Amino acid sequence: MSKKNSKNIVFLLNALWIKINTKRKRKIIYLIFIILLSSFSEIISLSSVIPFIGFLTSPEYFLDNIFPRYLSLNLNSIDNFSLLVGITSILILSAFLSGFLKVYTQWEIRKLAANLGSDFSIDLYRKLLYQPYTYHINVESSDILSVLTADISDLINLLITPLLTLIASSFIASGLIISLLIINGNLSLITFFIIFLIYFIALRLSSNSLLKLGYQKVYLRSSFIKNIQEAMGSIREIILDNNHEFYVNIHKSLDKPLRKVIAKIAILSIIPKSLVDPAGISIIAIIGLFLALNGDINNSLPFLGAIVLGAQKLIPHFQNIYQSWTSIKGSKAILEKVVILLNNKTPKKLTRKRIKPLQIKEDIKFKKVNFIYKSNTRPILANLNLTIRKGEKVGIIGKTGSGKSTIVDLLMGLLEPLSGEILIDNLNINDPINSSLLASWRVSIAHVPQNVFLINATIAENIAFGIPKNEINMAKLKKVCEQALLSNFIENTEGGYFSKTGERGIKLSGGQCQRIGIARALYKESNILVLDEATSALDNQTEALIIKSLENIDREITLIFIAHRYSSLKNCDRIIEIKNGKVESEGSFESFTSN
């Protein structure tokens, strides 16, 4: 999206329109048809006022002069009472029809807006989940949370609903204006011009302010969510350091300005109505006074009544148009943000079928692999050559920053090399022509990170991650818990396998969380098992017991251990030392510990 186009709200709305599916577009067309009917009912309702008031105030003058002007009908055969009943019935029916259509139109607007909001939210969520790993390590989670929660809600309430309301009110207002011009052109033009002028001036004066306030709102809200996330994520440190007020002050510095911005946007949207109401009353009063002084009040009363009613009907629609436009204008920053995210690329084919894991036959090879992060100037990996054979237990060791974790992320297909190849049985997993290969390779890997992420659910659901609760294989789950030395701990808890772990595993120790991570990886039954500092929170005895239990795993499974300490790699077939993004040395555990 070009810088110029990103500033054009019409362009942004068009970009949003492109993302709407055919079903919703048909619903919008249907809604426009209902709006046209509502507009027509308002015209009938307003037009019925003239004959009604005219017949009540001066029946003879009305029958001889006013009615023939609009309808070529012979009314001599109809008595006055029947005519009055007919006119009254038309007025009442048209008023009820108009009211019903107003309610129905608003119902359809709200329903359509909610459905569109849901469509956009699901689409955005899917796009964000399918973004490559490099996207997620560079974007702030507070921005994602802000978009999926507050921004999408604002898109519905402050943009989509107001936009549909603006369309509805524009059609109805146009019908009312045409009717008023037909009834009495001069009086209607004066009334319309003054109302229009007030709203036009208000729009011109508030336009820039609304844009600035909209961008301030997006920035403040994203920072607001970020502060809450950081505080909740570091609550232990806050309590230990007694830093509560530090985060409270940050919250205060964001909360107050945010609420002031929201209040200013709301105030700007209601100011014109405060001026239009007294202006409208003044116009009607002056017109009535003028007609009374000229002695023409009785004959002009039907027209004056119609104009008063028309103005009364027109002002709310002008207010809706103005409020809708100010809301849309103030939401431009949100619209811009959502459109950019909706335009993110996703894989061409998003299959919902179960992907078949890739069965390794020979080996995994890193061939002259180079990698550098965007934020770095120094390469993390430089011409790395590495081979891991099928069924081998390989330990990778090195200091912090040596490139161990980057090797793991490249191996798992989360990152793509700057140059070089990662080959599985001589097949390049990053081959753009064979994109399904990478998906098959990824599902064949089970990964246990140093910091295991646990959802706020039961132990069983955390181990059988991503599997519906009623589909968990409890026999298999208990077996992997024994291998991860979890069984005793779980069986001594009150809820057993269905005990809650708390948010991010807050109810468990670091070692318990890591063992759940190991059990999760084993439950997956993958043929590649990667343990990235997965036993760092365990004591030496527990670590040794878990590693020993992993030795009994089928030799078809390839085990890759990433560690800082040699003791974690005691039972590996081979240890590879990484230094400055290259293989420094490799050999057996004994060859490393004997030096």
SS (H, E, C) 115-131: HHHHHHHHHHHHHHHCC
Q: What is the pLDDT of residue 524?
A: 84
pLDDT of residue 561: 86
Tens of pLDDT, residues 484-519: 878 888 888 778 888 887 666 667 777 778 788 888
CA distances from 255 to 174, 178, 225, 227 (A): 42, 47, 10, 11
Round to whole Å and give the CA distance between 235 and 244.
9
**Is 391 in a helix, a strand, or coil?**
coil
Please tell me the number of Cα atoms within 13 Å of 425 on its side-chain side.
8
- Over the stretch 524-565, which tens digit does the pLDDT of each residue have? 888 888 888 766 656 666 666 666 666 666 567 888 888 777
Query: Quick one: average pLDDT of 248-274?
Result: 79
Q: Which comes out higher in pLDDT, residue 291 or 403? A: 403
Residue 303 has pLDDT above 70, yes or no: no
Residues whose CB is less than 8 angstroms from the CB of residue 585 and which lie 6 or more positions away in sequence, other chains included: 576, 577, 592
Tens of pLDDT, residues 340-381: 888 877 655 544 456 788 888 888 899 999 988 876 667 888
Determine the pLDDT at residue 71.
47
| Residue with token string 């006022």 | 49
| DSSP designation for 564 | S
Residue type, 175: G
Single out the residue of 152, 96, 522 nearest to residue 337, CA to CA: 152
Q: Which two tokens stand for residue 294?
A: 């000229």
CB atoms within 10 A of CB 515: 28
Q: Per-residue pLDDT averaged across 91-99, rounded? A: 79
3-state DSSP assignment of residue 32: helix
Q: What is the mean pLDDT of residues 194-216?
A: 74
- Band (pLDDT 50/70/90 cuts) for residue 1 is very low
* Rg, the chain, Cα only: 36
> What is the DSSP secondary structure assignment for residue 500, as one 8-state letter?
B
> Checking DSSP bridges between strand 393-397 and strand 528-532, what pairing results, if any?
unpaired
> Is the pLDDT at 242 greater than 50, yes or no?
yes
Chain mean position to CA 297:
59
pLDDT at residue number 413:
87
**Element containing residue 312 per DSSP (H, E):** helix 297-330
Residue 11 has pLDDT above 50, yes or no: yes
Instruction: Give residue 451's identity as a one-letter amino acid code.
Output: N
Encoding tokens for residue 349? 């084919």
What is residue 504's predicted lDDT score, i.e. its pLDDT? 64
Rounded-to-integer distance, Cα 454 and Cα 517, Å: 8
> Is a pLDDT exceeding 80 seen at residue 275?
no
Q: What is the mean pLDDT of the chain?
A: 77
pLDDT at 3: 42
Q: What is the pLDDT of residues 121-158, one digit of tens each?
A: 888 888 888 888 877 777 777 777 777 777 888 888 87
So what's the pLDDT on residue 70? 47
3-class state of residue 386 by DSSP: strand
Chain segment 163-190, per-residue pLDDT in tens: 888 888 888 888 777 777 776 667 667 7
- Among 506, 502, 512, which residue's Cα sits nearest to residue 535? 512
pLDDT at 289 over 70: no
Residue 380 half-sphere exposure toward CB, CA atoms < 13 A: 23
Per-residue pLDDT for 89 more than 70?
yes
Of 393 and 569, more confident = 393
What is the pLDDT averaged over residues 287-304? 62
Task: pLDDT band for 323, please (50, 70, 90 cuts).
Answer: confident
Q: In what order do the strands lie in the sheet with 582-587?
A: 445-448, 528-532, 558-563, 393-397, 574-579, 582-587
Lowest mean pLDDT among 70-74, 153-157, 413-417, 519-523: 70-74
Instruction: Provide the pLDDT for residue 560.
Output: 87
Residue 59 φ/ψ region, left for φ over 0, alpha for ψ in the -120 to 50 degree band, beta for the rest:
alpha
Residues whose CB is less than 8 angstroms from the CB of residue 446 and which lie 6 or more positions away in sequence, other chains included: 520, 521, 522, 524, 525, 526, 528, 529, 530
Q: When comparing pLDDT for 110 and 275, which is higher?
A: 110
pLDDT digits (tens, 9 = 90+) for 571-582: 788 888 888 888
* Contacts for 374 with CB less than 8 Å, ≥ 6 apart: 134, 138
SS3 233: helix
* CA neighbor of 338 nearest in space, from 15, 59, 27: 15
- SS3 call for 153: helix
